[in-house]
A and B are shown apart, each in its own frame.
Chain A
Amino acid sequence: MNIVVLVKQVPDSGSERKLDPSDNTVARATADNVINEMDEYAIEEALTVKEAQGGEVTVLTVGPDTATDAIRKALSMGADKAVHVSDPAIHGACAPQTSAIIAAALSQLDYDLVLCGAESTDGQVSVMPALLSERLGIPQLSGARKLTIEGSMAKIERQTDGGYWEVEAPLPAIVSTWDTINEPRYPSFKGIMAAKKKPVETKTLADLGIDPGTVGLATATSKVLEFAGRPPKGEGVKVADEGDGAEKLVGYLAAQKIV
């Protein structure tokens, strides 16, 4: 069972995140960059499947040179090797373009299963499995809280409002995972040391056979025209409960014509 895990480096959602006013793209160079949290669950799931079935886990990322940190994290958890697609022409690519790049990179790999996080904390578009399914013709099994591989079939519990759908598809398939699926392992010291020696192959758009003129900010299928910080909220009212907290709260709701 050869597995490819898609990993994305994102600005830390716990720190200040910004768009770059020069071109309205995510300011990645100045951000506190980390591996997308949800991807750690995909890596864990890949390692679990590998431990049960054998095979190899390859990490695939598209991103600037700094994304090597995210790759190292994945390798230190136990992934075997990595492919890093990096090319200045990718800067500002939209989701459909990014999916074309990932699809081209996947086509050069040998895989039975592709795993990714159910969303990235920066864009939160949450559609990469659907886009890759469309491009590669492999089935999407998205939003999993449980994954079971039985022979040539993959089955998931797709998390829904108030329950789940049981969904299955033949392999090779692309599965995205929520944080309800497992508890990601922490890299061991041994894992961290071993990661330094694991192979990371860097590929450019030319290596993938993609014309640089078809991706990136200039040809993106959507663009950010302008952005602004959310206007600060007016100063709220804060009262201390001195036995009258409930009364004041209900009084406020009544003044707002809510009760």
Chain B
Amino acid sequence: MAEVLVLAELNPAAGGPRKTTLEALTAARALGEPAAVVIGAPGTAAGIKDVLAEYGAAKVYVAESEDVDAYLVAPKAEVLAQLVTDKQPAAVVIPSSPEGKEVAGRLAIKTGSGFLTDVTEIAADGTATQVAFAGATIVHSQVTVGTPIYTLRGNSVTPEPAPAAGAEEAVPVVISEAAKQTRVLDRVVEQKSNRPELTEASIVVSGGRGVASAENFSVIEGLADSLGAAVGASRAAVDSGFYPHSFQVGQTGKTVSPQLYIAVGISGAIQHRAGMQTSKTIVAVNKDPEAPIFELADFGVVGDLNTVVPAATEQITARK
């Protein structure tokens, strides 16, 4: 069976691959036999090899070098391009993070291939599903030149175990000077949180302008914590200084696709919809019965968030 390369995305904080990697391994099976590619500092692969095998990696290509972490994007694309040349895979699947998309783009130029970003599904014939225009349009696309390269949007595919051999193969890492131009000096974490990553979370609770203040976002956080959810914010809330930009959902922010999205005090402007429209179930709380968010909501409560949300949090906590 043809091999499909899957670039592992790592989660240094948790020490394992990100969930998006397991999703990519699952999606890649439609096209052939997944082979994971681990590119990172020495020692990266040891701790994650087993889980990659558990999720279907027949092989695990390991490219470890200080250089790949010291420079931005370009070294990873070089390693992958070399593997594409050597192994002639049927396709390459990469988790759709900002870095993943950039690696995909560089790989496409290097290998003379086409690439499709933010795909939500890959069919056996290579046709990918994409969501365009704020989720309003569903598109089916194909790569027509070279080795198809896909980046898979997080939370689009449910990771399913499919134990495979996970045979490790070391890949020599030779990084050109051209790929060593953009140096990463420091990686700074500003917000430490025990909550799940916004784009990976199965439940997201977001607050908007209606939350009315930064302090009052504790109402949103309380509901999120009772559900084990991530916290998001609308652009209006971020622009008003209620919550940091890295939690912004919507156009110019994050795109999320959780099982459950709870929009609190969010009117539902199209720019917000762009980031959450593909959520499986949408719940809205807003005092304005005409708010457009209700057009999207599976369940809506017209009411004051300051009474409804704390009471709901209390009841959810009591049910545990």
Contacts and interface: CB of A to CB of B under 8 A. Distances in A.
B191 A162 contact: yes
B140 A159 contact: no
A18 B73 CA distance: 33
A223 interface: yes
A237 B299 contact: yes
Contact of B315 (A13, A160, A167, A246): A246
- For the residues of B in contact with A, the DSSP-based class is mixed
Interface stretch (B45-53, B213-221, B245-253): B245-253
B294 A236 contact: yes
B105 interface: yes
A180 interface: yes
B138 interface: yes
Q: Which of B133, B193, B298, B307 has the most CB of A within 10 A?
A: B133
6 contacts: A17-B136, A138-B181, A164-B190, A223-B142, A229-B136, A240-B302
Contacts of B187: 160, 163, 165-166
Contact of A222 (B141, B252, B259): B141
B104 to A, nearest CB: 7
B110 A134 contact: yes
Q: Which of B105, B143, B189, B308 has the most CB of A within 10 A?
A: B105
Contact of B190 (A14, A163, A247): A163
A241 B308 contact: yes
A190 to B, nearest CB: 28
Interface string B80-99: 00000000000000000010
A29 interface: no
Contacts of B185: 155, 165-168
A258 interface: yes
Interface string B223-242: 00001000000000000000
Contacts of B190: 162-164
Interface string A38-60: 10000000000000000000000
A38 B246 contact: no
Given A159-B245, A180-B245, 14 more contacts: A96-B105, A130-B105, A131-B105, A134-B106, A140-B72, A142-B98, A163-B246, A167-B183, A230-B135, A241-B301, A241-B303, A241-B307, A245-B301, A245-B311
A238 to B, nearest CB: 4
Contacts of A252: 283, 299
Contact of B102 (A130, A164, A166, A249): A130
A99 interface: yes
Contact of A14 (B142, B270, B283): B270
Contact of A226 (B115, B140, B144): B140
B294 to A, nearest CB: 6
B20 to A, nearest CB: 12
B281 A256 contact: yes
B30 interface: no
Given A130-B102, A221-B115, A226-B140, A249 B301 contact: yes
Nearest to A122: B133
A170 B181 contact: yes
A228 interface: yes
Q: Which of B114, B136, B184 has the most CB of A within 10 A?
A: B114
Contact of B114 (A222, A233, A250): A222
Given A241-B303, A245-B307, A230 B138 contact: yes
B300 A250 contact: no
Contacts of B314: 246
Contacts of B108: 95-96, 131, 221
A133 B137 contact: no
B274 interface: yes
B6 to A, nearest CB: 19
B10 interface: no
B304 interface: yes
A135 interface: yes
Given A121-B251, A131-B105, A224 B182 contact: no
Given A169-B183, A221-B114, A228 B138 contact: yes
B163 interface: no
Contact of A223 (B144, B191, B203, B277): B144
B124 interface: no
A13 B303 contact: no
Interface in A120-168: 121-122, 124-127, 129-131, 133-135, 137-143, 145, 155, 158-168
Nearest to B146: A221
Given A140-B72, A226-B140, A258-B227, A249 B184 contact: no
A14 B252 CA distance: 13
A246 to B, nearest CB: 3
A96 B227 contact: no
Contact of A238 (B289, B311, B315): B289
Contacts of A142: 72-73, 98, 102
A227 interface: yes
Contacts of B199: 161
